[in-house]
Amino acid sequence: MTTDFRKLAAPAVLGLSPYVPGKPLSELEREYGIHDSVKLASNENPLGPSPRAVQAATAALGGIRFYPDGNGHELRQALARHHAIAPECITLGNGSNDLLVMLAEAFLAPGVEAAMSEYCFQIFPLAAQATGATVAIAPANPRKAAMPLGHDVKALRAAVNARTRIVFIANPNNPTGTWLAPGELRGFIKSLPDTTLVVVDEAYHDYSRAVDCPDASAWLSDLPNLVVLRTFSKAYGLAGLRVGYGLSHPDVAELLNRVRQPFNVSVVGLAAASAALGDRPHVEAVAVLNRAGVEQLTQGCRAVDIACLPTAGNFLLIDLGRPAAPIYQALLRAGVIVRPMAPYGLPNYLRISTGTAAQNERCIKALAAALGSAA
């Protein structure tokens, strides 16, 4: 007799839909029998990591028979210097996603709530729902707004009540690329009750310096209910090593460390992240390449009458004005992987990560050909 394991699962788990990542290059090439494909689906860094990080990671391989430093002392000290903050305010994670799960485990449970915006990062509701907490979704800005589909802070504030323990905000937001300006975000945080944490996910912060997108970590000293998340996966190019961190009041960090898994960042990840943090010129070069890529992709989309949302990230959200699935499939056949947005409730949209100039040009030509074939 076959056991129905669904009957054994926690009720909150039954309501979850698994997160679907971007299609890997190997899977595309295996399915379609093609080679030399391009992945512009997962907001990865086309320059890759700093040579210093690669050197440190390679050297660290000699120590992989040992468990990593469970406290991540060297990396936490480096981060403390980088952010001018006490090490006790820092929590390390296996990517910033790990911090999202820790926050949910530490502060959410059945009977309390988490608030977030429509079209927010998909891990926000998944982490909250897994705890059995109620998820309140605030309507996003309308499509004709200055920040289309971005956070509507008035609607988000209206979703907060006495049971709300966490508000999740990505700034810049993934998948829209939109952002909240300093006064708007700070004013929202200050309006919240002391019993509500606001988690500002700044995964794309290093790409957002050319616009009025704030560094919320500068506010930690006077906003004790603020938690800021960062990652080494984007501008630092260490996505495959999974290293992220949270900055918070030390009392919040102490609670997060109660649920943090032992040795959650690897020996190689700790070494590479510490080295990457010290190579600021590499991060600046990544940001310069990204700004050029955003402009190149934007102009390419405009040339074929495709609307692009404003972005402070390393990706563009584009509105095809028609179901995006056929265009997505045509791009796959051309060896270009982008991200369909139907799982976010945006079936007419695609998200395109910036790549090298050659990769961007290939995507633009493939998109134009796909649109022409579909006309």
What pLDDT is recorded for position 375? 59
Say yes or no: 24 and 161 in one domain.
Answer: no
In the predicted structure, residue 1 carries a pLDDT above the cut 70: no
Q: In sequence order, what are the residues at sequence separation of 6 or more whose Cβ sits closer than 8 angstroms to the Cβ of residue 281?
A: none
Residue 257 has φ and ψ, to the nearest 5°, of -70, -15
Is 46 a member of any domain? Answer: no
Q: In sequence order, what are the residues at sequence separation of 6 or more whose Cβ sits closer than 8 angstroms to the Cβ of residue 166?
A: 103, 104, 107, 108, 114, 115, 128, 196, 197, 198, 199
Say yes or no: 18 and 104 in one domain.
Answer: no
> How many domains are contained in the chain?
2
Say yes or no: 225 and 157 in one domain.
Answer: yes
Say yes or no: 210 and 222 in one domain.
Answer: yes
Name 314's bridge partners: none
CB of 335 within 8 A of CB of 37? yes
Return the CATH number at 209: 3.40.640.10
- The predicted-structure confidence for 21-41, as pLDDT tens digits, reads as follows 777 788 877 887 888 899 999
In the predicted structure, residue 123 carries a pLDDT above the cut 80: yes
Is 176 a member of any domain? Answer: yes
- The predicted-structure confidence for 85-106, as pLDDT tens digits, reads as follows 999 999 999 999 999 999 999 9
What pLDDT is recorded for position 285? 97
In the predicted structure, residue 3 carries a pLDDT above the cut 90: no
Name 199's bridge partners: 168, 227
In the predicted structure, residue 274 carries a pLDDT above the cut 70: yes
Q: For residues 68-79, give the mean pLDDT.
A: 96
Say yes or no: 33 and 68 in one domain.
Answer: no
How many Cα atoms sit within 13 Å of 173 on the Cβ side?
29
Is 346 a member of any domain? Answer: yes
Q: Structural domain of residue 89, as residue ranges? A: 62-278
Domain boundary among 278, 304, 335: 278
- The predicted-structure confidence for 294-327, as pLDDT tens digits, reads as follows 999 999 999 999 999 999 999 999 999 999 999 9
Say yes or no: 25 and 85 in one domain.
Answer: no
Q: In sequence order, what are the residues at sequence separation of 6 or more whose Cβ sits closer than 8 angstroms to the Cβ of residue 198?
A: 166, 167, 169, 188, 189, 192, 225, 226, 227
CB of 238 within 8 A of CB of 53? yes
What pLDDT is recorded for position 29? 79
281 preceded by a cis bond (ω within 30 of 0): no
Q: Which residues of 119-131 are buried (b: 16+ CB within 10 A; e: fewer)?
A: bbbebbbbbbbbb
Is 137 a member of any domain? Answer: yes
Question: In angstroms, rounded to a whole number, what is the distance separating the alpha carbons of residues 177 and 64?
Answer: 38
Is 345 a member of any domain? Answer: yes
CB of 245 within 8 A of CB of 229? yes
Rounded alpha-carbon distances, angstroms, from residue 79 to 75, 128, 191, 222, 270: 6, 27, 29, 19, 12
